[in-house]
Amino acid sequence: MGYPDLCHVNQSQTSFSAHCFAGLAKPMGLVEGPGGLGQGGAAATLGEDSRESEGRYEDYGYNAQLSDRISLDRNIPDYRPKKCKQLTYSDDLPQISVVFIFVNEALSVILRSVHSVVNHTPAHLLKEIILVDDNSDSVELKFNLDHYVNKRYPGLVKIVRNSKREGLIRARIHGWNAATAPVVGFFDAHVEFNTGWAEPILTRVKEDHTRIILPAIDNIKYNTFEVQQYANAAHGYNWGLWCMYIIPPQDWLDKGDETAPIRTPAMIGCSFVVDREYFGEIGLLDPGMEVYGGENIELGMRVWQCGGSMEVLPCARVAHIERTKKPYNNDIDYYAKRNALRAAEVWMDEFKSHVYMAWNIPMNNPGVDFGDVSERVALRKKMNCKNFRWYLEHVYPEMRIYNNTITYGEVRNSKASGYCLDQGSEEDDRAILYPCHGMSSQVSVFSFFSNGPIISRDTGRCLEVEMSKDANFGLRLVVQRCSGQKWVIRNWIKHPRH
Ligand code: UDP
Ligand code: MN
């Protein structure tokens, strides 16, 4: 099956092109050109007559049906800080290859990302667009996508197809392999670019090729496609290595210049730009990471520890759909955990214990196969990178360090070894005994030494276990005169400094 070949695209016949291109989008049920629903980034809804099916949310984590009705060329509000508009840039900036990775995204959403980057990037700076299809299932994303971009943007778009599902980390690496411009930008395939996004970024990379630059992120609402401005932020993370927005560093706030780059310890990950060769030299992303998560934090740690830097540029803005669910995998947490352990093992030295603690897993025999990290360890050695303590002090001083933790684990009694100290019901807020299960309510931080009594400092009495017919499991926790019972902490994590 083919589409009516309404016109042969001739770049010099611009007056014909709008007509020709409308002919390209329409048969696929899509809309091009100015105006229409969602124009100016306003919230949109489908009319009453149209059936809004929940199923599309399930498939995509956003309202794909609505997206189909919004023009691929819609404008969005210019959310740059005012002063950005007065800045001028050199004529001699490096070109960029823009990589979009996707698996089973809505065609209209991918194409809007493409249109948006073409519409908002000076043509002489945009060398190529690379679409990496991470083995999508949908037929629409094969024939229709190819057909459309080859006709609409002849010679500009390369499509890379993964023959098996690689996950977002290796998908980006495949995109990098295909890129030929001196600078490469990596983006999720559900973004819209703002006016003047590229120039400030290319300027910062040209000045210093060891800078990884993150556009400031705005939000595209998953249900209405409204574009909302986000506050200036750096990108941090917690000890589980889940990323989050954090307040910019104090010296940035003190300076009072909203156009200045914001130092950031890591990145959200949906949008970053880097010198192509430098990215190769420092080891791209960790190809041993699977599916989703952790790579964004790992790159932050690595670039800083190995002599480069990472920053958010408020004058360069990209809006991104925060989707309601990840349609490609039901166990994102597992992969985020697994990938976090890889980052911890390679980059975090003694602080890796914090990651195990955050995920509530023992350091010995964690029960998670995070693969072989030896090549990444060798990379760190080869580049002679700084340690994690240096990084925490200089780049992420806001991170809370749990210095006083001596040991972390579950507490068992010598008389009832299958039972662990646990939290009681919320109402009476008391400790109880419960069969050991290793989940968070039973593992906690203790500052007494293993294999001894638990004695109250005030009364000299001991926390012990007593048989009792009416108690749950026939055992009751009591505070009584010490009879010699011992408690054992099954160590999950022991801090090396103690
Ligand atoms: N993606 C991919 N392969 C995968 C998983 C995700 O190519 O196995 C793509 C996905 O289509 C998206 C990007 O990776 O363009 C990031 O995923 P997502 O948007 O779900 O992450 P989020 O932005 O919600 O953290
Ligand atoms: Mn995304």
Q: Which ligand is nearest to the CA of 326?
A: 1
**Percentage of the chain lying above the pLDDT 70 cut:** 91
Contact 26 CB / ligand 1 (< 6 Å): no
Contact 165 CB / ligand 1 (< 6 Å): yes
Contact 270 CB / ligand 1 (< 6 Å): yes
Please tell me the pTM assigned to this model.
Answer: 0.86
- With b for 16 or more beta-carbon neighbours within 10 A and e for fewer, the 219-249 pattern comes to ebbbebbbbeeeebbbbbbebbbbbebbebb
Q: Are 194 and 313 in contact (CB under 8 A)?
A: no
- Predicted local confidence at residue 472, as pLDDT: 81
Q: Are 213 and 273 in contact (CB under 8 A)?
A: yes
Residue-level length of the chain: 498
Work out the average pLDDT over 75-84.
Answer: 98
Contact 167 CB / ligand 1 (< 6 Å): yes
Better-predicted residue by pLDDT, 15 or 378: 378
Q: What is the CATH number of domain 14-321?
A: 3.90.550.10
- Predicted local confidence at residue 21, as pLDDT: 60
Token readout for 364 is: 């010995």
- Predicted local confidence at residue 406, as pLDDT: 66
Work out the average pLDDT over 152-180.
Answer: 98
Of 93-107, 344-358, 445-459, the poorest mean pLDDT is in: 445-459
CA–centroid distance, residue 328 to ligand 1 (Å): 8
Asked if the model's pLDDT at residue 96 lies above 70, the reply is yes
Q: What is the pLDDT of residues 188-230, one digit of tens each?
A: 999 999 999 999 999 999 999 999 999 999 999 999 999 999 9
Model confidence at 54, pLDDT cuts 50, 70, 90, reads low
CA–centroid distance, residue 372 to ligand 1 (Å): 24
- Predicted local confidence at residue 335, as pLDDT: 97
Average pLDDT score over the chain = 90
Neighbours of ion ligand 2 (CB under 5 A): 188, 270
CA–centroid distance, residue 103 to ligand 1 (Å): 7
- Predicted local confidence at residue 230, as pLDDT: 96
Q: What is the pLDDT of residues 18-35, one digit of tens each?
A: 455 657 899 899 999 999
Q: Are 169 and 285 in contact (CB under 8 A)?
A: yes
Work out the average pLDDT over 294-310.
Answer: 98
Cα distance between residue 340 and residue 345, in whole Å: 9
Position in ligand 1 atom list of the atom nearest CA 187: 15
CA–centroid distance, residue 293 to ligand 1 (Å): 9
Of 92-96, 134-138, 377-381, 437-441, the poorest mean pLDDT is in: 437-441
Q: Mean pLDDT highest for which of 301-310, 348-357, 417-426? A: 301-310
- Predicted local confidence at residue 15, as pLDDT: 39
- Predicted local confidence at residue 417, as pLDDT: 80
CA–centroid distance, residue 312 to ligand 1 (Å): 21
**Percentage of the chain lying above the pLDDT 90 cut:** 71
Position in ligand 1 atom list of the atom nearest CA 100: 15
Sketch the domain layout of the chain as residue ranges. 14-321, 407-494
Which residues, in sequence order, are bridge partners of residue 489? 411
Helix (H) or strand (E) holding 62: none
Q: Are 362 and 356 in contact (CB under 8 A)?
A: yes
Work out the average pLDDT over 340-344.
Answer: 98
| Chain centroid offset of residue 246 CA | 14
Name the closest-CA residue to atom 15, ligand 1: 188
Cα distance between residue 283 and residue 377, in whole Å: 11
